[in-house]
Structure 1
Amino acid sequence: MSGEGAGSTVLVGRILGPWGVQGWVSVYSWTDPPEALFDYRPWLVGQEQRQVELSDWRRSGKRLLASLAGVDTPERVAELTGQDIHVPRSLLPPLEAGSYYWHDLVGLEVINLQDLCWGRIQRMLPTGAHDVMEISGGSSPNVLIPFVQPDVVRQVDLEAGRVTVDWPEDWVD
């Protein structure tokens, strides 16, 4: 998953827009697998995190579609279009030691073994082989470092807000 910060809710998706004329919405999911978005209820939508109940969902090709209680016209959907979907953090399953949710990593400071600050994690990128940290705000404008434990990522300290990596300065050009 991806999202921002370590608050009481977690960003898990976004309402993209209407699908058909009966109030269905197309949604984007940051969960893995994408369908896991529908396992979390209730949805808290928008900046005000208004509670919305999921009535039904389905796939249409590569699209994920949802039917929301009380949202039965394209006009009602238009009010939700572009809104983020959050869920209570307490709904997430616990992780094994050494595993992290992406939203917990975003914003952490990244330093190397020589105490060089690379910056802060802006986002995590799935690449197939390994997840990659996109880092900016430090000694280089933008740095991509693979999130490979323990070879590259030596320590993650959520309390201190820091990730320690074995990534020397001369590896970035």
Structure 2
Amino acid sequence: MVTHECELKDLPDFIPYGKIVKAHGIKGEIKVAPYFSYPDDLQLHQEIALVDTEKNRCTLWPVIRSRFQGNNAILKLEGIETRNDAEECRGIELWIDKTLMPRPDDGEYYWHEIEGLMIETDDGIALGKVSDIFSSGAHEVWVVTGKGREYLIPAKKEFIVEKDDQQGKLILTLPPGLLEINES
């Protein structure tokens, strides 16, 4: 088995991809539920990290093969040979090298590019920082926290006016009434 232990600080280009939900089949494959709705092509990744975020520890694993089944990724990792081996991975996060991810279309961003950005409306109202992102089924939703409030903002590319990487902010044009709905 060609794996090696590491610490998260050793993987600055790796980001969370998804969580291992269960073993798949009897030959040691794992099923991963991706965190975002347009998952990366895992074929580009020769190595992934299985991460225990509570212990700040990780293990790098060579990828033998990967494929998709519905919305889930199925991976075969070198050294995970049996269903029991795969079951031991249940609940662990799978991280990937973000430098290998294909560039999304104009106006679309990966979660890791949005989380932590400040959100401002096009008329200059600072709402707060993107503290979390989740999928509602129809689209992603940004959880924006600031000034004792929390706003749920649909992640729609037509709302984005500008992404300012220098200032770490996203300027949005929001539909009338969206902020008021969040304040009740």
TM range, smaller chain: 0.7 to 0.9
For the aligned residue pairs, the C-alpha RMSD in angstroms reads 3.1
- Normalised by the length of structure 1, the TM-score is 0.73
Residue matched to 1:52:
61
1:137 aligned onto 2:142: no
1:101-158 CA-to-partner distances (Å, cap 9, x unmatched) read 2211011111224443322212153654x64422223453x322233445x3222112
Contact 1:108–1:163 under 8 Å retained in 2: yes
Equivalent residue in structure 2 for 1:147, among 145, 155, 159: 155
Alignment of 1:82-97 (within 5 A): 82-95=91-104
Equivalent-residue separation in structure 2 for 1:96 and 1:26 (angstroms): 27
**Number of aligned residues:** 164
Alignment of 1:105-120 (within 5 A): 105-120=114-129
Identity level (%): 20
Q: Which runs of 5+ in 2 are unaligned?
A: 1-11
Equivalent residue in structure 2 for 1:8, among 13, 25, 29: 13
SS of 1:90's partner is: helix
Equivalent-residue separation in structure 2 for 1:12 and 1:97 (angstroms): 21
Q: 1:132 to 1:36 in 2, by over 3 A?
A: same
- Deviation of the 1:14 alpha carbon: 2.0
1:28 aligned onto 2:37: no
1:69 aligned onto 2:78: yes
Q: 1:63 to 1:95 in 2, by over 3 A?
A: closer
- Normalised by the length of structure 2, the TM-score is 0.69
Equivalent-residue separation in structure 1 for 2:89 and 2:69 (angstroms): 20
Q: Which runs of 5+ in 1 are unaligned?
A: 1-6
